[in-house]
Structure 1
């Protein structure tokens, strides 16, 4: 259960949403019939060892509601308070998401990343408000709103979740504690507008590392997540600390050092049509010591040309990827 009351959620967030949060993707056993708990625990420990403050329990994979609840419980148990666990609220319907968030709360998650189902097709922002309000009202957990083009709301407004809507939600939902500001990507106007409008009330996250590192040197940003930064190993948490200490020249040198890895990351298919290629993210983190291993079908596939590009990018940036052969990824470090 959350370690705060609903009316204390914003105070909790201001204190605890500091640092960088990555994404943990559940691993299946070799027969694809159940979760590999040992692999999940390995990924939580690696997350902690790399200096992350929190981790998203990824739900956008082929797992059942029972398996997702188990996944969340295992992450929370292994973390044991050393990092916070984030529930990814992207299931099929509002009713499914209300059930899932209640399960996540019971399992010990402390933050909700609120998304929208693929077949939610609002006719107006009043529909978006009603959906979001219903989900926020259904949980005592802190909620992070998430403007991003993924939801298809750009047809309603270029910022995806415009300021008047966010204003209503912040005023009406005391457990809205943060905004993951990716609205209007690839442009940063919406992120800057959201920060300007709301940073005194809720935590503003800039999760994209190539935006976070420069912008955090001119505006205060206490949280960067959830994101793909396991690809960089411990680098982004280190950069976050440098920025917090005002060591901007060192942080900038890290930005340039990561350039080869960043370009490699952006050269391969990270997803499309609103769905992230989670097997690609799994491989990217495996290069830095995470478990790797099976994901249940249907899933995207992983090809040698992309693995080669990602490995070369890490090598060129001095990130020392694993020397294990790529075929070992498909088995994972803790096979069951």
Structure 2
């Protein structure tokens, strides 16, 4: 690691600047193995679109532990020296999370988006703190806390994740940042900002909130999120320019880009969120990514969802990718002649 735990917070302040994208796993057309070429393509795609970092989405579909390890290893190798790589913590069990994190650190990963796994049911806030510290103590990577309502801690506090507990967790040396949304509760966000805004980096990944969180609260980074879907080519990275304009205090110019991208923010992404993680992969493909189907049980996309995603992109001046069959087998495999087999 290029920093010690005691240096982690300062390291994050120096390196977390800009947009943190997401990297989805790709599989061979028969879904039996990881598609290494497709994964490497998407790493380069994130870098070309101006991401300073990208999150390996280790949780989005069925993968073995060996596949998850190989996935993050490929990503770190391709991104080395060009972008940072993070991964999601919170898959099946605490011990599996620790095992994967330790491997991730060895192959060059620098930070993790911290969640809690399916096989964890806290009986108290002390349980949450104890387990969080156990995982943080087991690794040297920087930790980005995600106090999201989805983890079902609302039974302990009306904010759905007690800001006082957040403050306590940020005292752990390698906890460096917090990913939180205004839509999770403005009071909660303000309380967290008041408690720890000068200790760790607080940010919202949600584009619709940036006029406030970046424009007024000087947020210096955002993510991880699907920012590559906003720009079809690296030649006109509007989402990156918009974020930087907010950071530089040029609010009016930033808002011009904000409204240009609104058909994607409000239209395409709303349809995407209804389709789950597979829809995120589909949107990435529509805007230049590798694509490729996920293993079940991620479900299927309805045509109306695909049409809505395409319509939002067109309204923002982008041309969605064709043909549809390419998405299923993956862009690179399609170019080599792969087709759906019946």
Match 2:268 to one of 247, 265, 268: 265
Q: The residue matched to 1:270 in structure 2 has which SS? A: helix
Query: Which residue is 1:244 aligned to?
Result: 247
Q: Is the 8 A contact 1:148 1:185 kept in 2?
A: no
Q: C-alpha distance in 2, partners of 1:268/1:241?
A: 27
Q: The residue matched to 1:85 in structure 2 has which SS? A: strand
Question: For residues 40-86 of structure 1, what are the alpha-carbon distances to aligned partners after superposition, in whole Å with 9 as ceiling and x for unaligned?
Answer: 11111110111111110001121111111111111111112211111
Structure 1 residue ranges (4+ consecutive) displaced by more than 6 angstroms after TM superposition: none
Q: CA RMSD in A?
A: 1.7
- For normalisation by structure 2, the TM-score amounts to 0.91
Q: C-alpha distance in 1, partners of 2:183/2:45?
A: 30
Q: Is the 8 A contact 2:56 2:72 kept in 1?
A: yes
Matched, 1:155 2:155: yes
Q: C-alpha distance in 1, partners of 2:18/2:211?
A: 12
- For normalisation by structure 1, the TM-score amounts to 0.93
Question: For residues 106-165 of structure 1, what are the alpha-carbon distances to aligned partners after superposition, in whole Å with 9 as ceiling and x for unaligned?
Answer: 121100111111232212111111110111111111111111111011222233332221
Q: The residue matched to 2:161 in structure 1 has which SS? A: coil
Q: The residue matched to 1:268 in structure 2 has which SS? A: helix
Structure 2 unmatched runs, 5+ = 232-236
Q: The residue matched to 1:154 in structure 2 has which SS? A: coil
Question: For residues 20-54 of structure 1, what are the alpha-carbon distances to aligned partners after superposition, in whole Å with 9 as ceiling and x for unaligned?
Answer: 11111100111111110111111111101111111
Query: Which residue is 1:109 aligned to?
Result: 109
Q: The residue matched to 1:120 in structure 2 has which SS? A: coil
Q: C-alpha distance in 1, partners of 2:306/2:211?
A: 26
Matched, 1:39 2:38: yes
Query: Which residue is 2:145 aligned to?
Result: 145
Q: C-alpha distance in 1, partners of 2:324/2:158?
A: 41
Q: C-alpha distance in 2, partners of 1:17/1:7?
A: 17
Q: How many residues align?
A: 328
Matched, 1:59 2:62: no
Q: Is the 8 A contact 2:3 2:11 kept in 1?
A: yes
Match 1:254 to one of 250, 254, 257: 257
Query: Which residue is 2:320 aligned to?
Result: 322
Matched, 1:223 2:226: no
Structure 1 unmatched runs, 5+ = none
Correspondence list, 1:12-91, <5 A:
12-60=11-59, 61-91=61-91
Q: The residue matched to 1:200 in structure 2 has which SS? A: coil
Distance of aligned partners of 1:323 and 1:134 in 2 relative to their CA distance in 1, 3 Å threshold: closer
Q: After TM superposition, give the deviation of residue 266 of structure 1 in Å.
A: 4.7
Distance of aligned partners of 1:265 and 1:123 in 2 relative to their CA distance in 1, 3 Å threshold: farther
Q: Is the 8 A contact 2:272 2:283 kept in 1?
A: no
Q: C-alpha distance in 1, partners of 2:192/2:330?
A: 40
Distance of aligned partners of 1:142 and 1:323 in 2 relative to their CA distance in 1, 3 Å threshold: closer
Query: Which residue is 1:167 aligned to?
Result: 167
Q: Is the 8 A contact 1:51 1:238 kept in 2?
A: no
Question: For residues 179-215 of structure 1, what are the alpha-carbon distances to aligned partners after superposition, in whole Å with 9 as ceiling and x for unaligned?
Answer: 1113x84433322322222121111121111112333
Distance of aligned partners of 1:327 and 1:161 in 2 relative to their CA distance in 1, 3 Å threshold: same
Query: Which residue is 1:129 aligned to?
Result: 129
Matched, 1:211 2:209: yes
